[in-house]
A and B are shown apart, each in its own frame.
Chain A
Amino acid sequence: MNLWRDIRGTIEPFWVTLRNMLRKPVTIQYPEEKRTPYPRYRARMVLTRDPGGEERCVACYLCSAACPVDCISMQAAEREDGRRYAAWFRINFSRCIFCGLCAEACPTLAIQMSPDYEICNRDPLKLVWEKEDLLIADGGKDKEYSFYAHAGIGVGQPRGAGAEESPVADIKSNLP
């Protein structure tokens, strides 16, 4: 019966809305109730430190190059012991699209996405964060990782002493 189906299809939705009206809303009342985002949630970036407490960033510009909206800028500098660092590091969060490409491009795990999503501001200039604002005192997601233990030869340790390196072969003694 087509007509019967039509009538039922008209009446039934009323019951659905009435039933839903009496159910508890699923809304989270934001400023009062906050939900904790998952650890992998991609909100604002942080600059992390290695286990020794040093800045991880070696100012290689890879994040800046990977950034599709060009919101990351920095200036590389070199310490007296030859280790590179960022003289200044700046992220313009009013441009940032939180895509996570910078974090993926980073070879030192310095730049990471954090679950901190409350960075709204009425003044766009206040959304330009400098290195001091971005640096945290923690290793972030991989606390044990230290870039200079794997690479950065000649700065962290002598040649061949890195974590995944084999000792340097003495090419002179290796002659047949």
Chain B
Amino acid sequence: MTPLLVTLVLILVKLALVFGVILTMAAYIVLAERKLLGRMQLRYGPNRVGPFGLMQPLADLIKMLTKEDVCPAHADKWLFMISPGLAAVTALLAFAVVPFGPPLTLFGQTVPMVVCDLNVGVLYFLGLSSLAVYGIALGGWASNSKYALLGAIRGLAQLISYELSMGLAVVPVILASRSFSLTDIVNAQASYPFAVTHPLAFLIFLVSVAAESKRIPFDIPEAENELVAGFHTEYSGMRFGLFFVGEYINMIILGSMTTVFFLGGWHGPLLPPVLWFLLKVMAVCFVFIWVRGTMPRLRYDQLMHFGWKFLVPVALVNVVITGAVMLWLKG
């Protein structure tokens, strides 16, 4: 009975830790983004609350929670209420399969540093990132506003389009590591990360991930030309906050996926593995923030052209070439 209890406690502790770390990280990435963008524009960014503005996320949280929460008159109440949660939860759930360190031995028990090591982890991740579409679609539809609906439709089209190239960019990695399990994929990169051997797939994945997390060159769901907030036009208070935080959680998840698929996961010299993992995720997040500070927003048709006429064909060719090379190497 005791080993079972220990396992249970360990799992719970791990869950709480992962949950806490991700949420804190999401909150602080918002701060980091604001500060970094500020520095890129030669200003300081938030620095009023606490030392160096470090309490800003807390202040934002208090503000969000105490704001009036408006529900439009003819909105579909239930869907309107749950869709922000849907957006945030689908993002959070995806982290269940991300391995962030090698198995650890505690109290005579081996604790895998992953919430759940699925042997089809890649599929689970791709499935969940498709589910994220629902948060946007329902949010836009339930608010009973034309602007929100237009934003949602654009967001849907974008997410679905870039999901394709993202999925295709992962295929060479699966081919090379011969497994759908994320732990195996990381282990296959023990000597060198896949970003070195599959640079094209890495680039395609990075671009698709930026589009998937609705980041700047691709933040069409937000607003294109109607100058409102896009699919979350009608949301206020913490409900808007959930959409907002969901976006940043998504950024962390996709950043860790990039780390797992292409940057060698927790592998690295000197530092402890979990730290390496965190550093790599942060580096990817920094790249996203950097891109946001640099690139202008794409027009909607340019976005669709780029996705369908460039990224998907290139990804397909990349898959074929990788397969051919692997066959040739083997035979």
- Chain A residues packing against B (C-beta within 8 Å): 13-14, 16-18, 20-27, 29
> Please, which residues of chain B bring their CB within 8 A of the CB of A27?
42-44
Give, as a whole number of angstroms, the nearest-CB distance from B306 to chain A. Answer: 12
| Interface contact A17-B40, CB-CB below 8 Å | yes
> Please, which residues of chain A bring their CB within 8 A of the CB of B323?
none
Closest B residue to A16 by beta carbon equals: B294
Q: Report the bound CA distance from A26 to B291 in whole Å.
A: 22
| Interface contact A20-B39, CB-CB below 8 Å | yes
Q: Mark B11-48, 1 if CB is under 8 A from A, else 0.
A: 00000000000000000000000001011111110000
Q: What are 23 A-B contacts defined by CB distance under 8 Å? A: A13-B294, A13-B295, A14-B290, A14-B291, A14-B294, A16-B294, A17-B290, A17-B293, A18-B40, A20-B39, A20-B40, A20-B41, A21-B36, A21-B39, A21-B40, A21-B293, A22-B39, A25-B38, A25-B44, A26-B43, A27-B42, A27-B43, A27-B44
> Please, which residues of chain A bring their CB within 8 A of the CB of B291?
14
> Please, which residues of chain A bring their CB within 8 A of the CB of B44?
25, 27, 29
- Which B residues between 184 and 241 are near A, CB-CB below 8 angstroms? none
| Interface contact A26-B42, CB-CB below 8 Å | yes
> Please, which residues of chain A bring their CB within 8 A of the CB of B38?
25
Q: Report the bound CA distance from A23 to B43 in whole Å.
A: 10
Given A21-B36, A25-B38, 5 other A-B contacts at CB below 8 A?
A17-B40, A25-B42, A25-B43, A26-B42, A27-B43
Q: Report the bound CA distance from A16 to B43 in whole Å.
A: 15
- Which B residues between 295 and 318 are near A, CB-CB below 8 angstroms? 295
> Please, which residues of chain B bring their CB within 8 A of the CB of A24?
42
> Please, which residues of chain A bring their CB within 8 A of the CB of B41?
20
| Interface contact A23-B42, CB-CB below 8 Å | yes
Interface size bracket, B side: 10 to 19
Closest A residue to B287 by beta carbon equals: A14
Closest B residue to A31 by beta carbon equals: B48
Q: Report the bound CA distance from A22 to B290 in whole Å.
A: 13
Give, as a whole number of angstroms, the nearest-CB distance from A13 to chain B. Answer: 5
| Interface contact B42-A20, CB-CB below 8 Å | yes
Q: Report the bound CA distance from A27 to B43 in whole Å.
A: 5
Closest B residue to A11 by beta carbon equals: B294
Give, as a whole number of angstroms, the nearest-CB distance from B162 to chain A. Answer: 18
> Please, which residues of chain B bring their CB within 8 A of the CB of A21?
36, 39-40, 293
- Which B residues between 31 and 77 are near A, CB-CB below 8 angstroms? 36, 38-44
| Interface contact B295-A18, CB-CB below 8 Å | no
The answer, among A18, A23, A25, A26, for a CB contact under 8 Å with B290, is A18
Q: Report the bound CA distance from A16 to B39 in whole Å.
A: 12
Contacts A14-B290, A18-B290 known; A25 to B39 CB distance under 8 Å? yes
Q: Report the bound CA distance from A18 to B295 in whole Å.
A: 13
Residue of B36, B39, B43, B290 contacting most chain A CB atoms (<10 Å): B39
Q: Report the bound CA distance from A169 to B40 in whole Å.
A: 75
> Please, which residues of chain B bring their CB within 8 A of the CB of A26?
42-43
Give, as a whole number of angstroms, the nearest-CB distance from B53 to chain A. Answer: 12
Q: Report the bound CA distance from A146 to B187 in whole Å.
A: 90
Give, as a whole number of angstroms, the nearest-CB distance from B46 to chain A. Answer: 12
Give, as a whole number of angstroms, the nearest-CB distance from B2 to chain A. Answer: 53
Q: Report the bound CA distance from A30 to B128 in whole Å.
A: 47
Q: Report the bound CA distance from A13 to B291 in whole Å.
A: 9
Closest A residue to B45 by beta carbon equals: A25
Q: Report the bound CA distance from A17 to B289 in whole Å.
A: 11
Closest B residue to A22 by beta carbon equals: B39
Closest B residue to A14 by beta carbon equals: B294
> Please, which residues of chain B bring their CB within 8 A of the CB of A23?
42
Q: Report the bound CA distance from A17 to B291 in whole Å.
A: 9
Q: Report the bound CA distance from A23 to B291 in whole Å.
A: 18
Q: Which 3 A-B pairs have the closest CB atoms?
A: A17-B40, A27-B43, A17-B294
> Please, which residues of chain B bring their CB within 8 A of the CB of A14?
290-291, 294
Q: Report the bound CA distance from A29 to B38 in whole Å.
A: 14
Give, as a whole number of angstroms, the nearest-CB distance from B55 to chain A. Answer: 17
Give, as a whole number of angstroms, the nearest-CB distance from A19 to chain B. Answer: 9
> Please, which residues of chain A bring their CB within 8 A of the CB of B290?
14, 17-18
Q: Report the bound CA distance from A26 to B42 in whole Å.
A: 6
> Please, which residues of chain A bring their CB within 8 A of the CB of B43?
25-27
> Please, which residues of chain A bring their CB within 8 A of the CB of B294?
13-14, 16-17
> Please, which residues of chain B bring their CB within 8 A of the CB of A13?
294-295
Residue of B36, B291, B294, B295 contacting most chain A CB atoms (<10 Å): B294
Q: Report the bound CA distance from A23 to B295 in whole Å.
A: 20
